[in-house]
A and B are shown apart, each in its own frame.
Chain A
Amino acid sequence: MSAPLSPLLEAAAARVADGGNRPAAAAALERLLATGLPTRRDEDWRYLQLAPLAALAPVAGSEAPLPELPAPLDGELRLVFVDGQLATALSSPETAWSGWRSDRSVEPLTAFGELAAAIAPAAVGLALPAGLQLAGPLHLLFLHTRAGATLSGATFALSLGRGTEATLVESHLSADGANGLATVALDLTLADGAALTHMKFQELGRGLSHLADTRVTTSRDARYKSVSLTGGALLSRDTLAVTVNGTGAHTELQALFLPGEGQTHDHHTALDQTQPDCTARQVYKSILRGNGHAIFNGKVFVRQAAQRTNADQSSKSLLLDKACRVDAKPQLEIFADDVRCTHGATVGQLDPAELFYLMSRAIPRSRAEELLLHGFAVDVLNELGQPALLERGLALLTRFSEA
């Protein structure tokens, strides 16, 4: 390349070299350098302020104390990444999971995913064999502790064998004062009949930008369910792509994103139905405050072979202030003729009649608003299932409604 590299890409190249040019990292860097970082001219990135990220000159940063960690879930297998680095001291004992360790490399979806794969200190992954039953959820904690314009990347590959059922919880948390660019790339594969429930809590501080790729590949009769809660970060971009490669599979994608003053939360999803007789349901909801900006782009491809696909998509936004902005775009591309696909997008405000009804029952306005937000979000939150996670989701919503 003739043009000089940006400080960000230069730093990425230096990290790959420092890491001994691991083949997966070097390959990711090569792809990243070939495409470069996206700009607003790219359709999939047009709403994001990417220039400050591209211009970032990463520093090592000064270490801050760890954020408070959520209490362990019942029987959980915990893996903690601190600024991208697997922290064995904070994780479950290695003997509890080393038997399933896998070095399968992730296949990112975006340039930021390639960046994560290039700079991640190591490829971490698990392959859960057929019939394995974990005692509890697999809990990945991605912690960010450094102040200064830091850059971090982490990757995780998870494979579920035939018929294996698992729960994956992702927590993204940061120390007070942590800032910079946090990238992550996940690659999840489900063999025939496998089932994965995947819950993500993005609760980073406002100093961080979060760019996350999640690639999911499912097979015959597999069930993948994602519940993604986005509360933190200045800029948050989730790119989720699910490719359904087997018949009879079911996919469920749910999200609640809560951009407040100064925040942008972007969810780009792509669901690719390639085989017949599959079902899918997608519900993406956002609540916006101040000049918060919510972006939803939901692509659904129904390939010619994917006859009798039954897929619903809905996106709903609730705007609490005049300066909020929503860009919601469903995008269905259907090549099969015998399918049932629906989609709908609504944008609304709190209903004055509902507010007055609550207030006429002795409930002050602030509490009435909180109840209405809860009513709007509850179907997504209920998908969290277990009480400890539901409580965490409710706390996230309460913090937002009290902000």
Chain B
Amino acid sequence: MNLLHIKNLHASIDGKEILRGVNLEVKPGEVHAIMGPNGSGKSTLSKVIAGHPDYEVTGGEVIYSPQFRPKDLLEMEPFERAREGIFLAFQYPVELPGISNELFLRASFDEICRAQEVPLLSDADFHALLLEKAKLVEMDPSFLSRPVNLGFSGGEKKRNEILQMAMLQPRVAFLDETDSGLDIDSLRQVAGGVNKLRSSSNAFVIITHYQRLLNYITPDVVHVFWNGQIIKSGGRELALELEEKGYDWLKPEAQDPA
């Protein structure tokens, strides 16, 4: 059964259509990679799934079935989607002055515990869990008491996104260009975090420009996004082919999809 099923999804911003009929099926345990040129709409897809208020869904549906009970994702508020296990690692993580990383994660974690009807952790147990997860992404514990993302380097911000993902244990995580702007060490740390979180019950959708990240995280399926649609899907080898040939050779196919 699909964990997430996107059917003919259309979405626009300020009246301009960005998604023009996206179809995607994600099963538990899978890692999908979505590649495509700048402006093709792949980041928009992740924001629409997370419920970003700037985008208007104009057609299609998204069925999310975390417990084998299908839910209409588009009817849910952003915080409800997150409570039910949808996660977006932001391309540009937001700075939150005055709110410590630990306070932020605690607020978020507690909401998810309440929604899942799991007992809340004591402060000490929560802190211990947080330290354990910080280790997973090789983050210095001093970052936990600092305001969220404030003064963090690009790599630190991205690792902080993965730390949040590790704490919240989502079922479907969209990683929106998590690799952009990362040096090779940060890339390895981020990928290492994702690999440790992979399981047979969750799924990842990795949005990226480059196949570089896919050297560290092996995808099950690779999709090519162009002009608001997925125009081609294939295995791991498709990413290598794109790296070699670019995207242009695929464009005619878009006009006459198989």
Chain B interface residue count, Cβ-Cβ cutoff 8 angstroms: 29
Give residues of chain B (101-137) contacting chain A, Cβ–Cβ below 8 Å: 103-104, 107-108, 111-112, 115
Q: A371 — which chain B residues lie within 8 A by C-beta?
A: 96, 99, 103-104, 107
**Is A377 a contact partner of B98 (Cβ separation < 8 A)?**
yes
**Is B82 a contact partner of A361 (Cβ separation < 8 A)?**
yes
Stretch at the interface among A29-37, A83-91, A352-360: A352-360
**Is A363 a contact partner of B97 (Cβ separation < 8 A)?**
no
Known contacts: A353-B94, A354-B96, A371-B104. The answer to whether A360 contacts B53 by CB under 8 A is no
**Is A356 a contact partner of B78 (Cβ separation < 8 A)?**
yes
**Is A361 a contact partner of B53 (Cβ separation < 8 A)?**
no
**Is A357 a contact partner of B90 (Cβ separation < 8 A)?**
yes
A168 to chain B, nearest CB (A): 27
Known contacts: A356-B53, A357-B90, A371-B104. The answer to whether A362 contacts B98 by CB under 8 A is no
Q: Mark A367-386, 1 if CB is under 8 A from B, else 0.
A: 11001101111110000000
**In the docked arrangement, what's the CA distance between A213 and B75, Å?**
55
Known contacts: A354-B94, A360-B50, A360-B82. The answer to whether A367 contacts B99 by CB under 8 A is no
**Is B96 a contact partner of A362 (Cβ separation < 8 A)?**
no
**Is A362 a contact partner of B50 (Cβ separation < 8 A)?**
no
**In the docked arrangement, what's the CA distance between A353 and B107, Å?**
18
A391 to chain B, nearest CB (A): 15
Interface status of A70 (Cβ within 8 A of chain B) = no
Known contacts: A357-B90, A361-B82. The answer to whether A378 contacts B50 by CB under 8 A is no
Interface status of A136 (Cβ within 8 A of chain B) = no
**Is A360 a contact partner of B88 (Cβ separation < 8 A)?**
yes
Name the contact of B112 in the complex, choosing from A362, A372, A378 (C-beta under 8 A): A362
Interface status of A364 (Cβ within 8 A of chain B) = yes
Interface status of A365 (Cβ within 8 A of chain B) = yes
Interface status of B147 (Cβ within 8 A of chain A) = yes
Q: A356 — which chain B residues lie within 8 A by C-beta?
A: 52-53, 78, 94
Interface majority SS on A: helix, strand, loop or mixed? helix
**Is A362 a contact partner of B168 (Cβ separation < 8 A)?**
yes
**Is B107 a contact partner of A359 (Cβ separation < 8 A)?**
no
Closest to A376 in B: B98
Known contacts: A356-B78, A363-B111. The answer to whether A375 contacts B147 by CB under 8 A is yes
**Is B164 a contact partner of A361 (Cβ separation < 8 A)?**
yes
A255 to chain B, nearest CB (A): 16
**In the docked arrangement, what's the CA distance between A378 and B111, Å?**
22
Interface status of B219 (Cβ within 8 A of chain A) = no
Name the contact of A362 in the complex, choosing from B99, B115, B147 (C-beta under 8 A): B115
Name the contact of A379 in the complex, choosing from B90, B94, B98, B115 (C-beta under 8 A): B98
Beyond A362-B82, A371-B104, list 11 extra A-B contacts (CB 8 Å): A359-B77, A359-B79, A360-B51, A360-B82, A361-B104, A361-B168, A362-B79, A363-B111, A371-B99, A371-B103, A374-B98
Q: Could you list some 25 contacts between A and B, CB below 8 A? A: A351-B94, A353-B94, A354-B94, A354-B96, A356-B52, A356-B94, A357-B96, A360-B50, A360-B79, A360-B82, A360-B90, A361-B111, A361-B168, A362-B83, A362-B115, A363-B107, A363-B108, A364-B79, A367-B111, A368-B79, A371-B104, A372-B96, A374-B98, A375-B99, A376-B97
